[in-house]
Amino acid sequence: MSAANGQPELVVDGFPPQRPRWVQIATSADHKDIGRVMVVAALGFLFMALVELLLMRLQLAIPENTFLAPVTFNRMLSLYGATAIFLFAIPLALGLLYYVAPLQIGARGTALPRLGQLGMWLYLAGATVLYTGFLYTPSEAGVNPLPPLSGIAFLPNNGVDAWCAATGLATLGFVLIAIDLVATLRTLRAPGMAWRRLPVFSWAAAICSWLLVAIGPVMLAAITMLLIDRNFDGIFFAGDAGGSPLLWEHLSWIFFSGAYALILIFALAAIAEIVSALARRPLAGRGVVIGSLAAIAVLCTLAWMQNMLTAPIGIGWMYFAMTMALALIVPFGLVFFNLIATLIGGAVQMRAPLLFAAGAIVSISIGLAAEIEHSMVAAAWQLKNTVDATAATHFALVGGGVFGGFAALHWWFPKMTGRTMGESLARFSFWTMALGMLATFVPLFLAGGFEGEVIDAYKYFAGEGVSTYNLISSIGAFVLAAGILMTLVNAILSREGGAEAGHDPWGGDSLEWFALSPPEPHNFDQLPDVRSAQPLHDIRAAIGHRTARAEARPRESQPVA
Amino acid sequence: MSPSSPGTDQIETLLWIGFVAAAIVVVAVVVGLVYALRRYRAQRGAEPRPLAGGRRVQLRVGAVLTAFAAAILVLSIVFTDRARERPPTGTAGLQVAHSEPLQIAVTGQQWLWRYDYPNEAFSYYKLVVPVDTAVELNLVSTDVIHTWNVPDLAGKADAVPGKTNHLFFRADEEGSYFGRAATLSGQAYAAMRAEVEVVSPQTYEAFIEQRKNEIQAAQDRVVGLVEGGEVP
């Protein structure tokens, strides 16, 4: 028939053979498959991080506990840090950005899909190295393996080498994915999708990608130097042989500070999308929010020496770090202000993603507020390396990575699977998590701030006045873990059994809600003209307008198509 | 914590300033958020108000935030500079330390502290200093990074191999002060403690004399053993 119309005839001898599903996913360079694998893997490692956290909290539940040997505790600590940062928080953020941003800009895929695929596999390879390393000897050097402790002289087994390989592979993977995202955002935006019309979350994708391109190679360099020091008699970090242990501190803290910013930028951008859609109005101060997110990336990375205020670095550098850290009050404050200003006067629909978003805002603000005090130089001389810092970091990063990550997960879950996550379980999970979060980390603020309990220690003593705080914190950790597990279970159950979502369950304004749920492999059959920052809002307005006109006219005249 | 030196007094004040700043931030965000979510909760299909404000509101909020950050910055610098001041030795202090502070070399090693006093005396675990006397600690490490930490007397300072860190304090009252090392340094890290005993100048000098004699006696004994043909 098509030949009769002058079209070439398409002859198909049946469907091409379907390869097994796992082969298809493993070999796919589709950003949606890659993003989904990263999100699923990241949530799996969230579970592992929880197990490690609970083991450590069990050891710290009572004074002078002997549940874990000191070595085991240090291994759990090292594993927990690497898992939470490199295998959970960054890949969850990056996976969601990588899944959503191409859809939001109306692209049919990414610009360098094989690079993104390689990035995903490098991340999974890093994760495999870390956890097979766990089977023989994990690193004992802590969350940030500072030389000389992480040097060959003090930890001669291969644990630190495995840590280096694992985090190095994962970091390289993140950088490759970031390069793909940068290229995609620069070249594959739909007609009319100018930068000024880009959704906030896609802006976050651009900012986070540029940030990773800047900080990733720094970490890779540091890791390479550590490997050379350990295996080829290098002296980069040997203080007595012409090197400097402080060099590692500088390089690694540049990366960790940038990663901290990345997790928060991802979370705040996701929250901005959720808040504006569920308040039924455009984001207040859109340009200011986007500019603030970019400022956060720059200032937070420049504040890396905020982590080194007790090191011998000179008071001038300390004041520089403090100035950069305190300057962050302005962009963070503007973002929080505009999120709340969007809600005030809106028609707020209190759905699960907004609940998690609100929890994330509160948790992040507590963490950042505490971080103000850790930036004030003399105050930091007392507070640094106490469990007060543990609490501050966790409020910010669990707030961004877990609460913010879960808000984003609930938000885009319908797009990824075609089904919404169960609302009542989500609410129950949220309140459990909120309670657990406060019970786990508020006592640590008190134990660190008033009693000076030190960080990373496998035990404390009965006479130090921190026993009650630690017991409450340990109980709280189990409540927090129960809450997080509920959301993980909710996600697993809803994948098959959730309510069918349709292409636009939330009334979103950006282009990903124009695609099917889940989207076709090529994302869009066709795209609407992008004339503003809210293309779907424009379509709805146009339809509403035409319907109103059609109803106002006499029946016989047809509405013009 | 109960500050027992001029420096930690200043730090304590700054800590409370920081606490107030942090509380302001948390209260502002939580109150604003809870108000917005409770007051503007709406039924499905309700119409939102159009966005008000604009550039002027953003500028005002930005100005308020900048002023807030600048105030914290200035206060931090003022109190940090005060905390860094080198307090002079008082009248009740050690007389030889009047012109310049008592120099004590602190060496971190897994998992104890070694203190070298001016007169070739040294001690492990416990630092003994005279009361009301300016003390300068010069911290280094022979192995991994350690953090010297006695909260009541001074801030924390890292002992790093190959680079000397400095810490000043003047203890106001006699007594024992404790703290725990604050950077993960290996297996026995949690048991690594710092203890400072603040005593009268006379007791301090007697302690130094006693240590010198003990060290000399031990050295003589080793030398005697070696000269006597025995391996110590």
Which residue among B15, B50, B156 places its CB closest to the CB of A310? B156
Among the partner residues B18, B36, B143, nearest to A372 by beta-carbon distance: B18
Domain spans of chain B, in order of start: 6-37+56-84, 95-227
Nearest to B1 among A345, A450, A459 (CB): A450
How close, in Å, is residue B101 to chain A by CA atoms?
Answer: 19
Residue B193: beta bridge partners?
A: B180
Give the pLDDT score at A134.
63
In tens, the pLDDT along A305-349 reads 999 999 999 999 999 999 999 999 999 999 999 999 999 999 999
Top-level CATH class of B95-227? mainly beta
Instruction: Measure the CA–CA gap between A499 and A423, rounded to whole angstroms.
Output: 10
pLDDT on residue A5: 62
Q: How many CB pairs under 8 A join A and B?
A: 265
- Chain A, 31 to 90: residues with Cβ < 8 Å from chain B are 70-71, 74, 77
Q: What pLDDT was estimated at residue A556?
A: 52
Contact B190 A327 (CB under 8 A): no
Torsion sign across C-alpha atoms A140, A145, A149, A152: positive
C-alpha to C-alpha distance for A364 and A217, rounded to whole angstroms:
27
A378 and B84 within 8 Å at the Cβ level: the answer is: yes
Is any Cβ of chain A less than 8 angstroms from the Cβ of B63?
Answer: no
Provide the whole-model pTM: 0.94
pLDDT tier at A2, thresholds 50, 70, 90: very low
Cβ–Cβ < 8 Å for A256, A205: no
Instruction: Round the average pLDDT of chain A to a whole number and report it.
Output: 94
Q: What distance in Å separates the CA atoms of residue B115 and residue B30, rounded to the nearest whole number?
A: 49
Instruction: Report CB contact under 8 Å: B65, A341.
Output: no
Poorest-pLDDT segment among A316-330, A495-509, A544-558: A544-558
Lowest-pLDDT choice from A12-16, A80-84, A390-394, A486-490: A12-16
Q: B4: distance to nearest CA of chain A, Å? A: 14
Which A residues 493-552 touch B at CB under 8 Å? none
Minimal C-alpha gap between B229 and chain A (Å): 35
Which DSSP string corresponds to B164-210? -EEEEEE--S-EEEEEE--S--STTGGG-EEEEEEE-HHHHHHHHHH
Asked whether the CA dihedral A29, A512, A268, A534 is positive or negative, the reply is positive
Q: Do A348 and B41 touch (CB under 8 A)?
A: yes
pLDDT (mean) for A387-403: 97
Q: Closest to A379 (Cβ–Cβ): which among B18, B51, B57?
A: B18
Nearest C-alpha neighbor of A210 from the set A254, A168, A251, A179: A179
Tell me the shortest Cα–Cα distance from A17 to chain B, in angstroms: 46
Question: What is the per-residue pLDDT for B225?
Answer: 86
Q: Is the N-terminal amide bond of A217 cis, ω within 30° of 0?
A: no
The pair of structure tokens assigned to A248 is 């590692």
Chain B residue numbers with beta carbons less than 8 Å from the beta carbon of A140 are: 186-187
B202 vs chain A: nearest CA distance in angstroms?
A: 31
Do B65 and A330 make contact, defined as CB atoms within 8 angstroms?
yes
pLDDT at A372 over 50: yes
Provide the pLDDT for residue A561: 46
Among A23-37, A124-138, A298-312, A546-560, the range scoring the smallest mean pLDDT is A546-560
Per-residue pLDDT band for A554 (boundaries 50, 70, 90) equals low
Considering the four listed CATH numbers 3.50.50.60, 1.10.10.60, 1.20.210.10, 3.40.50.300, the one that applies to the domain covering A25-552 is 1.20.210.10
pLDDT computed for residue A1 by the predictor? 45
Residue A303 to residues A215, A253, A297, A298, Cα–Cα distance (Å): 13, 9, 10, 9
Q: Under an 8 A CB cutoff, do B190 and A70 touch?
A: yes
Residues 6+ apart with CB under 8 A from A72: none
Residue A278: exposure state from Cβ atoms within 10 A (0-12, 13-18, ≥19):
buried
Q: Tell me how close the Cα of A254 comes to any Cα of chain B, in angstroms.
A: 19
ipTM score assigned to the predicted complex: 0.94
Cα–Cα dist A364/A268, whole Å: 9
3-state secondary structure of B225: helix
Which residues from A are below 8 Å from B141, CB to CB? 239
Q: What is the pLDDT of residues A433-448, one digit of tens each?
A: 999 999 999 999 999 9
Confidence band of A7 (pLDDT split at 50, 70, 90) = low
- Residues near A71 by Cβ (< 8 Å), separated by ≥ 6? A140, B187
Give the contacts of B197 (CB within 8 A, at least 6 positions apart).
Answer: B126, B127, B128, B129, B175, B176, B177
Q: What is the pLDDT of residue A173?
A: 98
**Residues in chain B with pLDDT values less than 50:** none
Q: Which one of A65, A76, A344 makes the best mutation probe of the B interface by having the most chain B beta carbons within 10 Å?
A: A344
A273 pLDDT above the threshold of 50: yes
Q: Which positions 122-151 of B are in contact with A (Cβ < 8 Å)? A: 141, 143-145, 147, 149, 151
Contact B180, B192 (CB under 8 A): yes
What per-residue confidence (pLDDT) applies to A552? 73
Q: Are residues B143 and A326, on separate chains, in Cβ contact within 8 Å? A: no
Does residue A557 have a pLDDT over 60?
Answer: no
* Separation between Cα atoms, residue A68 and residue A439, nearest integer Å: 23
Answer whether residue A548 shows pLDDT above 90: no
Residue A91: pLDDT above 70? yes
CB distance B190–A457 less than 8 Å?
yes
What angle, 0 to 180 degrees and rounded to 10, lies between the N-to-C axes of helices A90-104 and A200-231? 140
Residue of B nearest to A377 (CA): B80
- The answer to whether the Cβ–Cβ distance between B44 and A349 falls below 8 Å is yes
Residue B182 near residue B156, CB atoms below 8 Å: yes
Question: pLDDT digits over A156-187, tens only?
Answer: 989 999 999 999 999 999 999 999 999 999 99
CA distance A59 to chain B (A): 13
